[in-house]
């Protein structure tokens, strides 16, 4: 091999010059890659969050209806008025219920997809989970209103199957029941679970995918039953995924202001309260204070999760 | 004495019935209680599948498996008092070393204090005192391997299965662990079933040894039997890279017209004149503790192992070969 291949290849245009530049200054590439997202994150994202926080420490002048730009905790105190506290508790309970509902339904699906689905079935799984995300959220919610309505499919099917009694019994439970499914808290819950389910399934599936099969075999090998393996190996290892999914379902439910307007009693949730306060009522400070509540709740939730060791497997 | 493990015509085929992958095919074997049994064979020969049949993670497609005389066809893995040291160790990453070792007792309902004491005792046995609070991720490969061993042994299994447990270790650590494992087995009296594709490891550690080839057992016996009396060409070649001689070559070497095996270390390289066998040196390989010389005798390449310190002939030189006639082992098996 004494042909004319040089030991050092000649530079070929701009691409090679850039490669050489980045090779000589490795940090430059990092800087180029990170500047736009950091600007976005720092200015637009955290900036607006800071503005929100700032607003929540202002108050509204009761006579003029104008925002008084003075630091005060008065607006936060208003959150604790019975009617506002009601909204917060209702939202919190609904978010928790939706999260648990999503987790219970999502787990078997995610487990199947991670452990057993191969090739074509994996594609079917992804399609099935994501397909609902392709259509408009509003259309889906209205579709559910029809499904849950008094003259809707569910009532009809229950009648056909002779289960009207059961349906009526459920609807007569105080707190979750109502005139019909579409005007009951149970209806709101069902629709929330439906629209946020993919956000629970996908992170769960990703987490379960990373649990090696040999881990489950080791557990069985050491004498554990299926239930024990689930509790002591699968669940702890999948926990970061469950927490990630629950962050989605929890915060999406807490912030949503459309579903409770369309399906359910007309009782207000935090999202709807924020929407009305900043719009018609023009009370930006109280709207901001309401908006801070989900953030605080999420922080507390994550702190508890961390203390309970949910992130040990990270 | 009942056998610890017994296979009767056991098969495990994968895939469609018309074109199955015969991972394990009609295997008969008996593993004596308290013995150190090694399974040796090339990659894909069915060793791991055999272990998984014993632990219950695979079900045989044919035949019967008995553990201490009991047919285990319907017994799930968690009810077999058999434990495995996995090839990748499979330690639980979210638990510390102590909890990993105490896992078996925990799922059997042993209270915390007792099982932690048991775990510490086992960690001492594998020389890992004081490592209980670490996570598996904070251990070296050899330490992880010991934790996996302690985690299995704490259950006092009747049979311990080890799937290439030393594969990931460097030579020095590997040899140290071989000695430790052997000593541990002798002390505890547990039946060890040890999978490896390192023939030196199998020969030095096992009381008895099964050589696998394509899902079948090519030969089963003591290491000595297998090394000095390989039954088939495959065994002769795989265990100790013996010279496998075709019938006509065997005759030229002074034996009967049958397939035979001649160990390289049994051949001496001499001067070319006045000997019955001579040939041209075609290859030299330096091995550290000696050299391996390939000599072409009438077109058949034969390897001879020279001890260190002996003069090594040059490539292309004509040399003679000599050996003790008893070293020529005639094989009864066909393949
Ligand atoms: N689940 C399975 N599905 C299909 N074929 C399999 C399966 N498990 C093993 N096999 C096949 O069975 C044969 C034996 O595999 P096995 O894992 O027992 O080999 P091995 O002797 O342990 O090899 P190695 O030394 O490489 O670990 C291989 O050809 C393998 O491809
Ligand atoms: Mg294997």
Angle in degrees, CA A16, A22, A27, rounded to 5? 175
B184-223 residue pLDDT tens: 888 888 999 999 888 888 888 899 999 999 999 999 999 9
Mean pLDDT within B131-136: 92
Q: Does residue A310 have a pLDDT over 80?
A: no
Per-chain residues with Cβ under 5 A from ion ligand 2: B 48
Residue A268 lies in a domain: yes
Comparing A242-246, B1-5, B217-221, the range with the smallest average pLDDT is: B1-5
In angstroms, the CA B84 to CA B23 distance is 20
Residue A13 lies in a domain: no
B interface toward A at CB cutoff 8 Å? 55, 57, 76-79, 82-84, 86, 88, 90-94, 103-104, 106-108, 151-152, 155
Banded pLDDT at A68 (limits 50, 70, 90): confident
Q: Does residue B285 have a pLDDT over 70?
A: yes
Residue A141 lies in a domain: no
Residue A10 lies in a domain: no
Q: Which domains does chain B have, with CATH numbers?
A: 3-230 (3.40.50.300), 241-330 (2.40.50.140)
Residue A103 confidence (pLDDT):
93
| CA distances in angstroms from A152 to A146, A180, A189, B89, listed in the order given | 6, 10, 17, 56
Residue A277 lies in a domain: yes
| Sign of the torsion angle spanned by Cα atoms A7, A10, A16, A20 | positive
A203-228 residue pLDDT tens: 999 989 888 888 999 999 999 999 99
Residue A29 lies in a domain: no
Residue B82 confidence (pLDDT):
93
Residue A63 lies in a domain: no
A72-109 residue pLDDT tens: 888 898 889 888 999 999 999 999 999 999 999 999 99
Mean pLDDT within B125-151: 90
Banded pLDDT at B101 (limits 50, 70, 90): very high
Q: Please say whether the beta carbons of B216 and B291 come within 8 A.
A: no
Q: How many domains does chain A have?
A: 1
CATH classification of the domain holding A294: 1.10.3720.10
Q: Please say whether the beta carbons of B319 and B295 come within 8 A.
A: yes
**Closest to A55 (Cα-Cα) out of A274, A308, A312:** A274
Q: Does residue A311 have a pLDDT over 80?
A: no
- Between A97 and A135, the higher pLDDT residue: A97
In angstroms, the CA A308 to CA A240 distance is 12
In angstroms, the CA A292 to CA A51 distance is 12
Q: Does residue B7 have a pLDDT over 90?
A: yes
Which are the contacts of A71, defined by CB distance < 8 A and separation ≥ 6?
A57, A58
Angle in degrees, CA B202, B156, B170, rounded to 5? 35
With tokens 């009396």, the residue in question is B229
Banded pLDDT at A314 (limits 50, 70, 90): low
Residue A228 confidence (pLDDT):
94
Q: What are the φ and ψ backbone dihedral angles of B254, each rounded to 5 degrees? A: 95, 15
Helix A270-278, helix A235-255: angle, nearest 10:
30
For A269, the domain range is 74-136+185-313
Of A220, A223, A236, the CB nearest to B108: A223
Residue B107 confidence (pLDDT):
93
Mean pLDDT of chain A: 88
Banded pLDDT at A1 (limits 50, 70, 90): low
The ligand 1 atom at the shortest distance from the C-alpha of residue B215 is 14
Provide, rounded to the nearest whole percent, the portion of chain A with pLDDT above 90. Answer: 30
Distance B85 CA to ligand 2 centre (A): 12
Residue A192 lies in a domain: yes
A55-59, A123-127, A192-196 — most confident range: A192-196
Interchain proximity B77–A228, CB inside 8 Å: no
Q: Please say whether the beta carbons of B285 and B292 come within 8 A.
A: yes
Q: Please say whether the beta carbons of B197 and B43 come within 8 A.
A: yes
Nearest ligand, CA B24? 1
Q: Does residue B326 have a pLDDT over 90?
A: no
Residue B268 confidence (pLDDT):
86
Inter-chain Cβ pairs, chain A and chain B, closer than 8 A: 64
């Amino acid at each position: 091999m004494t042909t004319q291949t040089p030991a050092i290849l000649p530079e070929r245009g701009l691409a090679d010059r850039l490669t050489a530049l980045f090779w000589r200054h490795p940090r430059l590439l990092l800087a180029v890659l990170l500047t736009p997202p950091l600007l976005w994150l720092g200015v637009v994202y955290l900036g607006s969050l800071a503005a929100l926080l700032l607003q929540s420490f202002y108050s509204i002048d009761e006579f003029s209806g104008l925002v008084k730009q003075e630091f005060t905790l008065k607006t936060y105190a208003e959150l604790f008025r019975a009617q506002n506290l009601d909204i917060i508790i209702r939202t919190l309970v609904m978010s928790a219920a939706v999260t648990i509902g999503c987790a219970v339904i999502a787990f078997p699906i995610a487990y199947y997809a991670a452990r057993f689905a191969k090739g074509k079935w994996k594609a079917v799984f992804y399609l099935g989970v994501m397909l609902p995300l392709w259509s408009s959220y509003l259309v889906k919610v209205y579709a559910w209103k029809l499904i849950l309505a008094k003259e809707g499919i569910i009532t009809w099917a229950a009648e056909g199957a002779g289960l009207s009694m059961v349906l009526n019994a459920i609807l007569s439970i105080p707190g979750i029941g109502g005139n019909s499914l579409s005007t009951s808290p149970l209806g709101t819950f069902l629709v929330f679970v439906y629209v946020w389910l993919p956000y629970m399934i996908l992170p769960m599936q990703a987490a379960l995918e990373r649990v090696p099969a040999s881990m489950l075999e080791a557990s069985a090998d050491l004498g554990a039953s299926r239930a024990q393996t689930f509790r002591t190996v699968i669940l702890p290892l999948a926990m970061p995924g469950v927490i990630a999914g629950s962050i989605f379902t929890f915060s999406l439910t807490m912030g949503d202001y459309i579903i409770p307007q369309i399906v359910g009693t007309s009782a207000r949730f935090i999202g709807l309260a924020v929407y009305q306060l900043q719009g018609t009522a023009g009370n930006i400070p109280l709207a901001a204070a309401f908006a801070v509540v989900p953030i605080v709740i999420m922080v507390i939730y994550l702190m508890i999760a961390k203390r309970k060791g949910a992130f040990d497997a990270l | 004495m009942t056998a610890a493990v017994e296979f009767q015509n056991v098969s495990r085929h994968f895939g469609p019935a018309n074109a199955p992958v015969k991972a394990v095919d009609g295997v008969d074997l008996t593993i004596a209680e308290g013995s150190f049994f090694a399974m040796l064979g090339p990659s894909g020969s069915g060793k791991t599948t055999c272990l998984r049949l014993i632990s219950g993670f695979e079900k045989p497609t044919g035949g019967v498996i008995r553990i201490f005389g009991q047919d285990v066809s319907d017994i799930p893995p968690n009810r077999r008092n058999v434990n495995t040291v996995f090839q990748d160790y499979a330690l639980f990453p979210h638990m510390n070393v102590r909890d990993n070792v105490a896992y078996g007792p925990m799922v059997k309902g042993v209270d915390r204090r007792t099982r932690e004491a048991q775990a510490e005792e086992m960690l001492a046995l594998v020389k890992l005192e004081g490592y209980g609070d670490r996570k598996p991720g904070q251990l070296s490969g050899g330490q992880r391997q010991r934790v996996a061993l302690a985690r299995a042994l704490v259950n006092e299994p009747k049979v311990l299965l080890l799937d290439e447990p030393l594969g990931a270790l460097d030579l020095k650590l590997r040899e140290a662990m071989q000695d430790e494992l052997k000593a541990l087995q002798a002390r505890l009296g547990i039946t060890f079933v040890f999978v490896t594709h390192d023939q030196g490891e199998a020969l030095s550690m096992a009381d008895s040894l099964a050589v696998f080839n394509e899902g079948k057992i090519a030969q089963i016996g003591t290491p000595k039997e297998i090394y000095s009396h390989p039954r088939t060409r495959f065994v002769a070649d795989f265990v100790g890279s013996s010279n496998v001689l075709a019938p006509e070559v065997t005759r030229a070497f002074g034996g009967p017209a049958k397939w035979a095996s001649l160990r390289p270390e049994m051949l001496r390289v001499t001067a070319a004149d006045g000997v019955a066998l001579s040939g041209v040196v075609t290859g030299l390989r330096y091995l550290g503790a000696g050299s391996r010389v390939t000599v072409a005798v009438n077109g058949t390449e034969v390897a001879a192992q020279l001890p260190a310190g002996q003069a090594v002939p040059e490539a292309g030189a004509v040399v003679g070969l000599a050996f003790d006639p008893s070293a020529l082992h005639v094989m009864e098996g066909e393949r």
